[in-house]
Structure 1
Amino acid sequence: MSDDIRLRAIGITGDSDALASIEPAEAEIHEMHRSDLDALKDGAAMLTQSGNRVAALAVMWSAVAIAPTDLGAHRRLAAMLANAADIDGAANEYARYIEFMIPIGDVGRATMELAYGAKVLGGHPSLREAAEKIVTAVRALVPGDAVAAAPTLPLPRLLPKVPFRFCVHDDGDRHWMQLEGGTTELVPSAVRLLDRNDEVIETRKFIPLAAGQKGHAKIVEGEPNGVAWVVLGVTDEVVAALDAGKPSPYRVEAKVGDEWISTVLVDTGCRIGRRSKVAVS
């Protein structure tokens, strides 16, 4: 009869088979992990059905955070972003998944997902960058001096997206987009508008919203108040695209800490309101 304290520490005593005892425990942990993931997927589906798209996206971001290589969670998040007209976000999600596949050696899965993403979104720059990383990984399969000199791929990381509600106001010959949002975890300090070529069109500082202070933009039921607001000048082209429910020709990024990250924009339908101007940062 064994009295190994290492076995007793994990609940195994006597002559029982240690491996047989450990395997069920690992299976139970895996099942708990899978249960949490399924719960997040189901929650996102219910929020989407109720029209709360911002909260649904936040839940799916949590799902891919706990299971970054889960194909179902990844595909669902990418589809939700694409359906919300966030093509850049959807492409970045495909690129993120591919970047997780390469370090674990699943180049085949990465290649298949690249083909799937390109079929859905077309030739997006993020997918082209992902393709180059796959090429580098494939070359690394063959030993050689050229491969040895190839740069090491950085470890991928998940970047959250800052949620905002927006209104559009007409001010004669100009249009203004008022953004309200952010969260207590993602407090934006500035915002910038970029064109199709990633050139910065405008940058402005956010104005904080005090705790309990209601902003101008209508709040979707079940969503928290924002923590900051700002007004950006936008063109007729942007307004026409928003009114038609089409993807905006420009994209919005928010500065959180020292980093510029993507945003999730939800149209409140409001087209009138305050027009306070803020200083350009």
Structure 2
Amino acid sequence: MSDDLRLRAIGAPGDSDPVVSIEPAEAEMHDVHRSDLDALKDGATMLTQAGNRVAALAVMWSAVAIAPTDLGAHRRLAAMLANAGDIDGAANEYARYIEFMIPIGDVGRATMELAYGAKVLGDHPAMHEAAEKIVTAVRALAPGDLAAAAPTLPMPRLLPKAPFRFCIHDDGDRHWMQLEGGTADLVPTAVRLLDRNDEVVEMRKFIPLAAGQKGHAKIVEGEPNGVAWVVLGVSDEVVAALDGGKPSPYRVEAKVGEEWISTVLVDTGCRIGRRPSRVAVS
């Protein structure tokens, strides 16, 4: 029995070998009809057995042209070129196949084919070039300089929350929330109301409170005087949530400097009736 890999690849019989055929993978065929490719490979085998190697090569070139990633067609063509004494042509065919595998992300198959080609042909410049392309593709999967080139990320910092007292005024068909607060370190310049989707519903500018000036909202014991105040329109849904001590469906953010920060809202109970103070974090 012959151990010549090139004879096995083209399907040429050895002492008692049957014709060996490497079938193409179904996923690689795309729109190419399997019957057409099989017919070309079978025709090349018959021409080779009849001794017409020139015609067989022409047929296999056609097979590779219509199915450039078919493993069976590629190996038969490379083996036929090598058997005809065209070692350069065979090496270039292995290199061509490898170059087709790399762009489609099949580096594993490219590596296996390089090992197979090197075993069949031995040392050849085309195989060295193909090996370098595989190495480059592997390095691209996890570039070694990625960590060194990446900028040093700043340490995360916790933003403070601006404290505010609020009261609710009923204006018939609408409710108004009056906010008073901020501190000497967190002086707010604007406020915005955001819905569940983080869409801005309303935005207003704060009005400064002079030192010692008392606002409208009742001061909660232990809380410092505010430094600014503003009035926002709020919906029945917001008021119902506040009255029920539930999380508000809307979020209030204050602009301090160039940043929008969260707020801590303290209910003073300043509206129809008095209620115990509750704290809501937005």
TM over 0.5, yes or no?
Answer: no
* TM-score (structure 1 length as normaliser): 0.44
* Higher Rg of the two aligned structures: 2
* TM-score (structure 2 length as normaliser): 0.43
